[in-house]
Amino acid sequence: MSTLISPEHVEPVAAPFVAPPNRKRWLIIQPKSNTPLMVDSGKVSMPLNLLMVATMVQNHFLADFVDERIGDEVPQDFSGYDVVALTSRTLNAKRVYALADRARAQGKKVILGGVHPTMMIDEAREHCDTVVFGEIESIYDELARDIYADQIKPLYRPSSEEGWKPMNLLDKPDFTIARRSPNSKRYSFLLPMLATKGCPVGCNFCCTPRIYGKNFRMREVDRVLDEIRFRQYEAGRPNIRFSFMDDNISFRPAFADELFNAMVGMGVGWNANISMNFLEKPEVAALAKEAGCEMLNVGFESVSPETIKHVHKGSNRVGRYDEIVANVHKQGIALQGYFIFGFDTDTAASFQHTYDFIMKNRIEFPVFTIATPFPGTPWYEEMRHRIVQHDWDKYDTFHYMYEPAKMQRDEFLRNFIKVQREIYSWPNIWKRMAGRKLDWVWMVNVAMHNFTQRLTPAMLL
Ligand code: B12
Ligand code: SF4
């Protein structure tokens, strides 16, 4: 049983810039998307990225926070604000730009941040006064000063890869900002948590290495523990649950080892993205379990060694998949397994092979996506001439992007739907989940059943 601590014991990070008494006001917006993906319906996770932005901004500005995904309304009239700041991924970029254009038309300073503006600086610049590349923490002081001096620059970006601030200087995000909304009951019970940033593995379809390069940063383990204790204090009980938002918590195995060891006995439940190769050692899952792990999120991507080679995912060795799953399941930890279809090496048989693998290994929460070249990645450039989908709303990994070399469109879509319907049919849910106590992973399967049985090819075009 862990000890609950009071907020006074969590050190705030000193803010070197002192704001004038007459504070400017920000409106910080998490825009919705049009995706049919489950992740944007029902409960959604608190937007850690924007909460980090709001937490910093609160040091020097007045700030209001709106999350459209939970039903908060974005005001039509921005006259109460000096700055309107929005976050964007590719799948909501169109909505972001529409809101940004409206704010600019009303004479507001508009700031865009997040993955899409970072990867598409020139496009984003057409809709705002400034783009923040990567993360706010590394450029915040300069941005805050410039806003008060009315000298905002078109782009804020650390001058080199070494310019990213150490994660230990980061404040812990203030969740009360999100909880103030009357719609906050739509936030998932899984709290977002961050221990590391970056992942230099270098998969050619992924944005992370393009943003943070070879950089991989870790918080001090004590800081992570402090934040966990603080969340326990806020909740008034030790058994809180959270999701690590890290790209890859195990990129430095020694750090993950130290963190998991330190978490043993805290009484928390958690899930995290983790590299397959780290799980080749059975003791990793055993330690994760002791530390409270309920689910590990693993990018299997494909069960074909040829495809794994094609996407440069050096951390995956298909020949060891079965053994890795066994290591995790032996500890009673569930697996959220990501599977991507549509690479040129895929054939109609790839769906059957994936189905067989999932059923044989009883993967609890398989997620199926369509290979999506995200703008700004080298893979997007490589595929540009073949891409048939140019509407950013459809860049949610659930829309048909290009014709794979060995399959025609209709055959591909038919199989993509069929494999999901079969995996999430009632008898197969039962086969994959039998013996597991009734918990939220069961609930996810029920939701996935309802979602997958409704799928039609037209929804994916
Ligand atoms: C955790 C995670 C998730 C969580 C989301 C939790 C949440 N509520 O945000 C879950 C699992 C639900 C998820 C789902 C999906 N995800 Co995801 N996810 C991530 C991951 C690994 C980390 C994101 C994160 O929270 N990091 C921690 C925060 C604190 O860091 P940060 O995001 O860098 O935030 C900083 C900056 O972006 C900046 N910033 C952000 N916004 C703003 C705004 C302003 C004004 C300013 C100044 C600064 C600023 O400051 C922030 C604070 O440091 C990223 C990879 C990555 N590194 O971005 C992929 C990533 C964002 N996901 C991606 C994708 C594709 C998806 C899905 C479509 C996948 C799927 N099929 O399920 C869905 C879509 C969900 C949705 N509706 O957006 C892609 C997006 C690509 C793109 N170009 O849009 C990424 C980049 C991974 C990749 N493959 O490259 N994801
Ligand atoms: S291992 Fe995951 S986070 Fe790292 S580069 Fe590959 S897809 Fe991105």
Say how many C-beta atoms besides its own lie within 10 A of residue 48's C-beta.
Answer: 17
pLDDT band at 15 (very low <50, low <70, confident <90, very high): low
For ligand 1, what atom is nearest to the CA of residue 170? 53
Question: Predicted confidence band at 3 (pLDDT cuts at 50, 70, 90)?
Answer: very low
φ/ψ of residue 218, rounded to 5? -125, 145
In the numeric block, the tokens 């704010």 are attached to 103
Ligand 1 closest atom vs CA 116: 83
pLDDT at residue 4 greater than cutoff 60: no
111 contacts 87 by C-beta, under 8 angstroms? no
Give Cβ neighbours of residue 449 (< 8 Å, ≥ 6 apart). Answer: 424, 425, 426, 429
pTM (2 decimals)? 0.94
Greater confidence, 16 or 428?
428
Residue 208 near ligand 2, beta carbon < 6 Å:
yes
Distance (Å, whole) CA 245 – CA 272 = 7
Residue owning the nearest CA to atom 59 of ligand 1: 247
E-strand ranges in 56-202 read 62-67, 83-87, 109-113, 130-132, 155-156, 191-193, 196-197
Q: Which of 189, 261, 247, 173 is closest to 216 using CA atoms?
A: 247
For the CA of 206, the closest atom of ligand 1 is 90
The CB of 377 under 6 Å from ligand 2? The reply is no
pLDDT average, residue stretch 219-223 = 95
Strand order in the sheet with 269-273: 191-193, 241-244, 269-273, 293-301, 334-341, 365-370
Q: Which ligand is nearest to the CA of 316?
A: 2
Q: Which domains does the chain have, with CATH numbers?
A: 9-163 (3.40.50.280), 189-460 (3.20.20.70)
Contacts of 431 (CB under 8 A, 6+ apart): 359, 362
Backbone angles phi, psi at 373, to 5 degrees: -75, 110
249 in ligand 2 pocket by Cβ < 6 Å? no
Kindly state the average pLDDT of the residues 93-117.
98
- Region 442-452: mean pLDDT is 95
Give percent of the chain above pLDDT 70: 97
Phi/psi for 302 (5° steps) reads: -155, 155
User: What stretches of 107-220 show up as alpha helix (H) in DSSP?
Assistant: 115-119, 121-125, 140-148, 176-179, 208-212
pLDDT tens track for 307-366: 998 888 878 899 999 999 999 999 999 999 999 999 999 999 999 999 999 999 999 999
The answer on pLDDT for 12 being more than 80 is no
Question: Which residues are paired to 369 by β-bridges?
Answer: 340
Could you read off the pLDDT of 139-169 as tens digits, one per residue? 999 999 999 999 999 999 998 878 898 888 7
